[in-house]
Structure 1
Amino acid sequence: MSSIETQTESAQYVHYHDGGGPGKRRVLTGQDAKPTFTELPRVDMRRMFSDDFASRKELAVEVGAACRDVGFFYAVNHGVDEKVLDRTFDAVKQFFELPTEVKMEVHNQKTKKFRGYEAFLEGKLDPSTRGDLKEGFLMGEDATDPEQNRPITPATAEPRNQWPTAPEAAFFRPAIYEYYNHMINFSRRMLSIFALALDLPEDYFDSISTHPMTNVRAVHYPPQDSETDVGIGAHTDFCWFTLVFQSQTKEPALEVLNANGVWVPVMPQKNTFVVNVADFLKLVTGGTWQSTVHGVRNMGGEERYSMPFFFSPNEDGVVSVLPQFRKLGGKYEDIVVGEYFQRRLDVDRTTHLDGGEGRRS
């Protein structure tokens, strides 16, 4: 898959990038194999919109089981209009077809938050590869973008996003913001379901998610010709959770790692989001919920596009292990969200401009 596989006389391991550092998992077979998932569960999200608390709680129990046992699930009947999703993908494909000089005007190395365009092979999560075989565009929370209606403070007064100014790219910003606004609304509802799943009040996490850190990443993966290439190296995400909308390719490209070190393919399913637990939910649950390792290998011969949306607590928010997950005598630290986020960004991104050799995330 998208990680290095090593083998000793007695064991084989899959290597990946977890929480800002290298990790590995032994491949287990036969009597050593653990009970684990071999496919992703499907969760019907219609109950999220119900006025009946019992229905929302029933959904939360189902979501909690998926988060505990897998860390990934398909969200169906999520309420985001399919026409919005189609328009977004049309705009994304059109953007990546623009001339290179138009895209490079907003190269991500021009901002501290790595917002803007990332060219092919510039990301390098797995140092054993020549780089991630993808191009992307990243935007996120930015108080200076009027579309977000966020308060401007000394800490948020500097622009973070970049948008291309060429007339032929004028379609892109409004298309991305249409998607962004729908995903913000869905994510807030999703966060309340996660709280319920942890037997907490639905608004438990709201106080540290009033002005959440957010990202939309539009990604284009060309077909891979070589088994040694990766679309993106194996990793975990650093946010509350991620919502992924992926194009309808005939063959799966996204894969997730189960407890036996086996890669499980995630088939695209029409009008469905793939939801995955990320580092902050793993942290607050003391590791009870899985921030599952995943990566992309696009071997099906088709162009692939995806639109992950990353939803995090406030930049100045503080997170720690919830009381019900603390063990007697354990030591637990508070983590400032923005500081952790920036550390992960600095580790995870490398480009030809800084001469980086690739770093583990």
Structure 2
Amino acid sequence: MSTTKTQPQKKTYVHYHDGGVLGKRRVLTGNAAKPTFNEVPKIDMQRIYSDNLGDREQLAKEVGEACRNVGFFYAVNHGVEERILDDTFTAVKRFFHLPTEVKMEVHNQKTEKFRGYEAFLEGKLDPSTRGDLKEGFLMGEDATDPEQNLPVHHLPFMSTPRNQWPSHPTAAFFRPALYSYYAAMLTFSRRLLGIFALALDLPEHHFDHITQHPMTNVRAVHYPPQLSDADVGIGAHTDFCWFTLVSQSRTAEPALEVLNANGIWVPVPHEPHSFVVNIADFLKLVTGGAWMSTVHRVRNRGGEERYSMPFFFSPDEDATVSVLEGYRKSGEKYDEFGVGEYFQNRLVVDRRTHLEAEGSGGY
């Protein structure tokens, strides 16, 4: 009588950046799989504008559940004018179609904050790829930009310009369009931060004192169609802010994907009248890991051009954060983190080009 030995299943892993550190997650299937999410929940945000605190608290309960279990949700009926979103997408597409020399005038390697234009394949979050198949443009808080109306004399660390804007006349449309989007997203983000506070059983304005002059970014991104499965639009990573709001163009095949507890990639398709919201490292930090800063990536495999406009909302640059009292374990010691230092360290890791690492001498 012969017996057949069952071969042990080979372990496979998904690799990613988490908090600027390389990490991995085992892919679990069959009996080894854990209970986890297989889709991103949708939450109607109309109650965020209600004058009734009870309405906002009910919204916060739904948001809190999504933050604990998924780390992502769709903010449906967010209230930001569709006209602003449409106009900004039009401007973003137009900008990325400008000649390369116009865009490279404001190449992001010219600034410490990596503001400005990032060319194709210059980022490389996944070391197994040839680089991130995207081009982008980054702007953010800058007290020298009059559109932001920030008090320079109270913010000495922001006394020098941070943003770069192209000077060529063919790009003159871009700055006002991006600032229209920036202003709308900043206003919505301040409201949403209050909902997150309520979801943590805190007063609605608990975080306001460390988010008076928040670090903020709009990152306009263009993903061309991927012609090879070996490519990735942007490698797997977590974000480093309070949270991120993403406007994404409609594509037939979803490009944004989030990683669940079983190491399975869950698609996040375009949904009309909604933002994709994901909480990020600072909310994971203050909750002691109870809220998930979920790993995500982009693979644009549907043969279409894809555009997205994530808005990143962070605490003040000179603030410190630590684990909230309600999330501390007895006997444990908890350090404080300087927001600006943590942010800059992550920025350097995420924006350091592999071209530099290979000694190419520049772009």
TM-score by length of 1: 0.95
> 1:11 offset after TM fit, Å?
1.5
Q: 2:322 & 2:311 partners in 1: Cα distance? A: 23
Instruction: Quote the residue 2:23 is aligned against.
Output: 23
Secondary structure, aligned partner of 2:278: strand
- CA 1:33/1:9 → structure 2, altered by over 3 Å: closer, same or farther? closer
Structure 2 residue 80 is matched with structure 1 residue 85: no
1:254 pairs with one of 250, 253, 256 = 256
- Pairing of 1:281-296 with structure 2 (within 5 A): 281-296=283-298
2:285·2:322 contact (CA, 8 Å) conserved in 1? yes
Paired residues of 1:350 and 1:356 also in contact (CA < 8 A)? no
Q: Using the alignment, how far apart are the partners of 1:282 and 1:142 within structure 2?
A: 26
Please tell me the residue identity of whatever aligns with 2:276: V
| Superposed displacement of residue 47, structure 1 | 0.3
Q: Do the aligned partners of 1:19 and 1:344 also contact (CA within 8 Å) in 2?
A: yes
Name the amino acid aligned to 1:106. Answer: V
Amino acid in structure 2 at the alignment position of 1:51? D
Q: 1:156/1:54 Cα in 2 relative to 1: closer, same or farther (>3 Å)?
A: same
Counterpart CA distance in 1 for 2:260 and 2:356 is: 35
Alignment of 1:242-321 (within 5 A): 242-321=244-323
Which residue identity is paired with 1:350? Answer: R
What secondary structure is seen at the aligned counterpart in 1 of 2:170? helix
**Per-residue deviation, residues 300-355 of structure 1 (Å, max 9, x unmatched):** 00000000000000000110000010001112110000000000011111236634
Q: State the match for 2:119 in structure 1.
A: 119
Residue ranges of structure 1 left out of the alignment (5+ in a row): 1-7
Question: What is aligned with 1:210?
Answer: 212
Q: Is the 8 A contact 1:239 1:312 kept in 2?
A: yes
**Which secondary structure does the structure 2 equivalent of 1:311 belong to?**
strand
Please give the alpha-carbon distance, in whole angstroms, between the structure 2 residues aligned to 1:352 and 1:28: 32
Aligned-partner residue type, residue 79 of structure 1 = G
CA RMSD for the aligned pairs? 1.3
Q: Give, in whole Å, the separation in 2 of the partners of 1:273 and 1:103.
A: 27
Corresponding residue of 1:167: 169
User: Which protein has the larger Cα radius of gyration, Structure 1 or Structure 2?
Assistant: 2
Partner residue, 1:49: 49
Q: Does 1:324 align with 2:326?
A: yes
| Alpha-carbon spacing, 1:167–1:148, altered in 2? closer, same or farther (3 Å) | same
Letter matched to residue 114 of structure 1 = F
Does the 8 Å contact 2:123/2:354 carry over to 1? no
Q: Which runs of 5+ in 2 are unaligned?
A: 1-7
Equivalent residue in structure 1 for 2:236, among 234, 251, 267: 234
Aligned length: 351
- Secondary structure of 2:156 counterpart: coil
User: Which position in structure 1 is the counterpart of 2:138?
Assistant: 138
Letter in 2 for 1:117: Y
Partner of 1:199: 201
Q: Which aligned segments of 4 or more residues in structure 1 are displaced greater than 4 angstroms?
A: none
In structure 2, what residue type is equivalent to 1:338? G
1:13 aligned residue: 13
What is the distance in 1 between the residues matched to 2:22 and 2:333?
Answer: 23
Residues in 2 aligned to 1:157 and 1:94: alpha-carbon distance in whole angstroms: 31
Q: Which residue of 2 aligns with 1:104?
A: 104
Contact 2:131 2:354 in 1 (8 A): no
| Aligned AA (2:49) | F
Which residue of the partner structure matches residue 4 of structure 1?
none
TM-superposed deviation, 1:111: 0.3
Contact 2:15 2:23 in 1 (8 A): yes
C-alpha separation in 1, matches of 2:269 and 2:212? 34
Distance 1:305 1:316 in 2: 32
AA aligned opposite 1:335: F
Task: Answer whether contact 1:234 1:293 (CA < 8 A) is retained.
Answer: yes
Quick one: distance in 1 between partners of 2:201 and 2:224?
Answer: 43
Q: Letter of the aligned partner of 1:36 in structure 2?
A: T
Aligned equivalents of 1:154, 1:239: Cα separation in 2:
22
- Aligned counterpart for 1:336 among listed residues 335, 338, 350: 338
Q: What is the DSSP-based 3-state SS (H/G/I as helix, E as strand, rest coil) of the residue aligned with 1:73?
A: strand
Scaled by the length of structure 2, the TM-score of the pair is 0.95
Distance in 2 of aligned mates of 1:138 and 1:132? 16
Output the CA distance in 1 between the equivalents of 2:78 and 2:193.
14
For 1:354, what is the secondary structure of its paired residue? helix
Corresponding residue number in structure 1 for 2:353: 351
